[in-house]
A and B are shown apart, each in its own frame.
Chain A
C-alpha cells in the first residue's frame, strides 16, 4: 500500500507525483462542478459534453499526424467540449420539449466524428486512454492546468454562490429577481466543459460522468446546504482518486475503472452509514 508513496519520492518517478497531484486537485473541480451538475439535474448534458469531446480529440490527433504539431489532443478536447456546451445551451434555450433527444445527438455524433478521425489517422493511435483514462499519463503542465481550473472554480462558486443556488433551486424565481438565468445556465455548462476536458486523463470521457455524480450523491446523503455538499463531494472524490490510484498501481490495473469502483463503494458505504445513523436515532427516540 505504501509502496506508491515511497516510489513517488524517487527522482525518476515524477509521473507518480503528477498523478497524485492531479487526483487531489481534480477532486476540487469534480466536487464543485459535480454538485451543480447534480442539483441542476444536467448529468445527461454533462455526459454529452464529455462524449462529444472525442470529436475534438480525434480531429487533433488527425491533424497532428498530418504535421500540425500545435493541434494537441487537450486543445481539441477543450475546443470541442466548449462547443458542445454552447450547443447544448442553445438547444436548451430554443427547444421547449425533446431537449434530451437533441442532447443525445450531440453525444453520439461527437463520438462518431472522433472515431472516424482516429480511423483515418496515420500511425497507431490508442483511443483507450482518452475513452477510459490513464491518470499516470498526466504531465507537469497538466498539473498546473488542473490547479488553475480548481482555483477558478472555487472563485466562481464563492462569487456567485447565492445566484447559482437560486438558479438551481428555483429558476423562475431567480429570473423574477432579475438574475440572468440563461447566462448562469451557460456558466454551469462551461464549468462542466472545462472540468471534463482538463481532467480527461483521470477516468476518461466515458466514465467522467461517474466522478461528477457518485461523490455528490454520497455527499447528498449528509449535506444540508449546498456548500456542505461541495465540501463533502470534494472529500469523497479525493478518497476515491487516491485509493483508486494507489490500488490500480499496486495491482497493475487500469486506473480509471478502479477509481470509479472505489467511488461506487464509497457511495454504498455512505448510504449504509446514513441508514445506521437513522436507525440509532430512531432507537434513541424510542
Chain B
C-alpha cells in the first residue's frame, strides 16, 4: 500500500530554540486510522503543521500524498481546534463549510461547490443547521460543522486536531460515530488527549514527545499509556517494529 504520510529523519526547531522534534521517521498508509498522542508541548501541533506544510523541517524530508506538503495541501482536509474562533463573528454554518471549497485564484462559488457543502452537511446529519449562526451552536455541533468543512473539499487525508476537546461526552460519542463512518474511506490522523478513542477504533498510535514512535494499537496497554503521560520521557517500549516499513526505533 502507498504511504500517505512519510517522514524521513525529520528534525525541527523553532528559530533560537532547541529541537522540538528529533529524527522523526514514520509513515502512515492509505486508509489508516491513526491517533497522535503525547503530552502538551511534546510537538503534536508542530508535527501536524509539518504535515500541512505550514512549517518546514530543519532537516529531513516530509512527503504527503506523494508530494511536497504545501503543494498537495488542497487535497488535505483539516479540522483545527474550534476554541480558536471569535464567538461574535457574523457567519452562518453554510459560510463556514463553504471555506472548505476555497481555491487559489479567481472563480466564483459554483453550484457544484454548494452541492458539495450540502452533501458534507448531510453526511454529518446537520443539514438543518445550514442557516444557523455559527456562534449559536453547541460545542458538539460546531465540531461537526468543522468536520463538514474539512470533508467538503473531498480530501484524501483528514487531519483532526483535538476533535474531542471541550465537548460533552454525548458529542464525543457522536464524533466516534463520524469516525466509524469515514474510516476506510481515507487516511485519518486524530490528535487527541482522549485515550478512550485510542483503544477502540484506532489502528495505529503516533506517540509524540520530541521523538516520535509509531505503534500498532495491539501493543498499547493501559499501563504503557500511563507511562507515556506519567513520567515525561519514558516512552512506550522502543524495541518492536510496527510494520515492514518501520523498523526498530532505538
Closest 9 CB pairs of A and B: A178-B104, A177-B102, A223-B90, A166-B99, A229-B90, A224-B133, A226-B90, A176-B78, A176-B73
Docked Cα-Cα span, A172 to B159, in Å, equals 14
Decide yes or no whether B231 CB sits under 8 A from chain A.
no
* Residues of chain B within 8 A of A229, CB atoms compared: 90
- Among B5-13, B36-44, B80-88, B215-223, the stretch in contact with A: B80-88
Question: Interface of B with A (CB < 8 Å)?
Answer: 52, 54, 73-74, 76, 78, 80, 84-86, 88-92, 95-96, 98-100, 102-104, 109, 133, 149, 153
Does B92 lie within 8 Å of A225, measured CB to CB?
yes
Closest to B49 in A: A172
Does A170 lie within 8 Å of B102, measured CB to CB?
no
Listed residue (B76, B95, B104, B109) with the most chain A CB atoms within 10 angstroms of its CB: B95
Decide yes or no whether A165 CB sits under 8 A from chain B.
yes
CB<8 Å pairs between A and B, sample of 13: A39-B86, A162-B98, A162-B102, A170-B80, A170-B84, A174-B99, A174-B102, A175-B54, A176-B73, A176-B78, A177-B74, A177-B100, A220-B90
Question: Interface of A with B (CB < 8 Å)?
Answer: 39, 41, 162-163, 165-166, 168-170, 172-180, 220, 223-226, 228-229
- In the assembled complex, the CB of A28 is this many whole angstroms from the nearest CB of chain B, namely 18
Closest to B84 in A: A170
Docked Cα-Cα span, A89 to B69, in Å, equals 26
Query: Among B52, B84, B133, which residue has its beta carbon within 8 angstroms of that of A176?
Result: B52
Query: Among B54, B85, B90, which residue has its beta carbon within 8 angstroms of that of A224?
Result: B90
Given contacts A166-B99, A172-B54, 18 further A-B contacts (CB under 8 A): A39-B86, A39-B89, A162-B98, A165-B91, A169-B89, A169-B91, A169-B95, A169-B96, A169-B99, A173-B78, A176-B52, A176-B76, A176-B78, A178-B74, A220-B88, A220-B90, A224-B90, A226-B95
- In the assembled complex, the CB of B143 is this many whole angstroms from the nearest CB of chain A, namely 14
